[in-house]
Amino acid sequence: MILRLAIASLAARAVTVCMTILAIALSVALFLGVEKVRTGAKGSFADTISGTDLIVGARSGSVQLLLYSVFRIGNATNNITWESYQDIADRPEVDWIVPISLGDSHRQFRVMGTTSEFFDHYKYRQGQSLALQEGALMGDLFDTVIGADVAETLGYSVGDPIVVSHGIASFADHKDQPFRISGILEKTGTPVDRTVIVSLEAIEAIHVDWQNGAQIPGQSTPPDVIRQMDLQPQAITAALVGLESPLQTFALQRAINQYPEEPLLAILPGVALQDLWAIVGVAETALLAVSAMVVVTALIGLMATIFASLTERRREMAIYRAMGARPSTIFGLLILEAVLVAAAGAIFGLIFLYFGLSIAQPLIDRNFGLWLDIAPPGGQEALILLAVVAAGAIVSILPALRAYKLSLADGMMVKT
């Protein structure tokens, strides 16, 4: 009966109460949403590369190597010579090795030279392989396979010609050797989506007439002649390595790091990803903290609403007292109301979250390659919602104490 009366009392103040519930609901939805994006981002970040045991590059920092070899952010300070690459490839622990050559671009997208093994060994999201949505892998020297974002952004389809530019953000085009798109990859949510993939030999081929970063004036070797040339690269940017046994990872890593001929660096992708996340994650934590503050603000709004209602409800409290309610019953009644409001806010917040997710999920996936899982609320969500309700009860202690004192002083007669 008290519960029913509490609900009826709230219903009688529908407008104020609904506004308070709305404020709590929105703040809870925001908080849960940020948490969702955070875990989603972290997951999708960690899913960028899997199945690769080591990434080898010229000696620099592990995060830097990860950034340019996997995320195509920044540039390599140095290359690995083909001899070093061969030495590593010949080691008995190495199961497979995929060379990567970076440095050129097409419009805003990076061009990556590699071998066809890249498509066999590059894995993402717990061992998922790359797949073509259209066309075929590179057959000819001047064939290219492009990522889903490249195709979508630039409106390319299989068979379209594209021209690769020298360097990044450069006006010098390799226009004498245009490429033909042979295939388009399925969307992966990884940097592969934003990559133009060509063969390692093609990278050599387009640089035949180039020296020191510029085209030799007047020189243009026809593609037919290039096809006859030896296109063995002199150097590559990095290599992805898979091992026979994961137990050998650290031994090989040490061997590569101490390679006498050339300063090299081998990193474990998982470890480097964690290092990188430690840097990026600060922003995520800040975002979470801000949204938590929004929840706190909404709860303070709840407290203010209860405080404001006390004056007009002194008569109501006097009636309860006259009927034999103790001041502590009045106290409990106000806490109960706050809990009801906070619980309603939490539940609506959850509804808002799923409603928002169902709308935003495809948009976020398309624009950011971030897949937010719409799973039924789990233990963590339940914990957060419970915390909101508990916090609602705690913030209402102050106005409830005031009501306790008022009802003790007023008794059954309101002296105003």
Residues 416 and 301: their CA atoms lie apart, in Å, by 27
298's tokens: 């909404």
Binding pattern for the stretch 264-303 against other proteins, x by CB under 8 A and - elsewhere: ----------------------------------------
Residues 338 and 318: their CA atoms lie apart, in Å, by 20
Nearer to other proteins by Cβ, of 175 and 326: the residue is 326
Question: What pairs with residue 104 in β-bridges?
Answer: 111
User: Does residue 125 contact residue 165 with C-beta atoms inside 8 Å?
Assistant: no
CA angle 79, 82, 87 (to 5 degrees): 115
**Angle of helix 397-410 versus helix 269-312 axis, rounded to 10:** 20
Q: Which range binds other proteins by CB under 8 A, 2-10, 31-39, 174-182, 295-303?
A: 2-10
Binding pattern for the stretch 230-269 against other proteins, x by CB under 8 A and - elsewhere: ----------------------------------------
Phi, psi (deg, nearest 5) at residue 23? -60, -45
Cα–Cα separations (whole angstroms), residue 360 to 26, 82, 190, 367? 16, 46, 19, 10
Q: Work out whether strand 143-146 and strand 195-199 pair parallel, antiparallel, or are unpaired.
A: antiparallel
Binder of other proteins out of 175, 326, 366, 405 (CB under 8 A): 326
Nearer to other proteins by Cβ, of 55 and 341: the residue is 341
Q: Which range binds other proteins by CB under 8 A, 54-62, 81-89, 162-170, 311-319?
A: 311-319
The reply to whether 107 sits near other proteins by the rule CB under 8 A is: no
Q: Which range binds other proteins by CB under 8 A, 252-260, 281-289, 294-302, 323-331?
A: 323-331
Binder of other proteins out of 165, 215, 249, 329 (CB under 8 A): 329
User: Does residue 402 contact residue 307 with C-beta atoms inside 8 Å?
Assistant: yes
Q: Tell me, what DSSP letter sits at residue 246?
A: G
Q: Which range binds other proteins by CB under 8 A, 9-17, 20-28, 48-56, 174-182?
A: 9-17
The reply to whether 5 sits near other proteins by the rule CB under 8 A is: yes
CA angle 32, 34, 40 (to 5 degrees): 100
Binder of other proteins out of 328, 358, 367, 380 (CB under 8 A): 328
Q: Tell me, what DSSP letter sits at residue 97?
A: E
Cβ burial, residue 238 (10 Å; 0-12/13-18/19+):
buried
Residues 162 and 153: their CA atoms lie apart, in Å, by 14
Q: Which range binds other proteins by CB under 8 A, 5-13, 158-166, 296-304, 355-363?
A: 5-13
The reply to whether 324 sits near other proteins by the rule CB under 8 A is: yes
Task: Give me the least distance between CB of 396 and other proteins, in Å please.
Answer: 19
The reply to whether 11 sits near other proteins by the rule CB under 8 A is: yes
The reply to whether 405 sits near other proteins by the rule CB under 8 A is: no
Number of residues that bind other proteins (CB under 8 A): 25
SS3 category, 383: helix
Task: Give me the least distance between CB of 348 and other proteins, in Å please.
Answer: 22
User: Does residue 226 contact residue 140 with C-beta atoms inside 8 Å?
Assistant: no
Q: Which range binds other proteins by CB under 8 A, 147-155, 325-333, 349-357, 361-369?
A: 325-333
Q: Which range binds other proteins by CB under 8 A, 53-61, 240-248, 326-334, 372-380?
A: 326-334
Residues 352 and 370: their CA atoms lie apart, in Å, by 20
Residues 318 and 371: their CA atoms lie apart, in Å, by 56
The reply to whether 321 sits near other proteins by the rule CB under 8 A is: yes
Binder of other proteins out of 8, 247, 363, 375 (CB under 8 A): 8
64's tokens: 């830097």
Task: Give me the least distance between CB of 318 and other proteins, in Å please.
Answer: 8
The reply to whether 412 sits near other proteins by the rule CB under 8 A is: yes
Nearer to other proteins by Cβ, of 237 and 407: the residue is 407
Cβ burial, residue 117 (10 Å; 0-12/13-18/19+):
middle
Q: Tell me, what DSSP letter sits at residue 122?
A: -
The reply to whether 325 sits near other proteins by the rule CB under 8 A is: yes
User: Does residue 22 contact residue 348 with C-beta atoms inside 8 Å?
Assistant: yes
Task: Give me the least distance between CB of 372 and other proteins, in Å please.
Answer: 42
Q: Applying CB under 8 A, which residues contact other proteins?
A: 1-2, 4-5, 8-9, 11-12, 315-316, 319-329, 411-413, 415
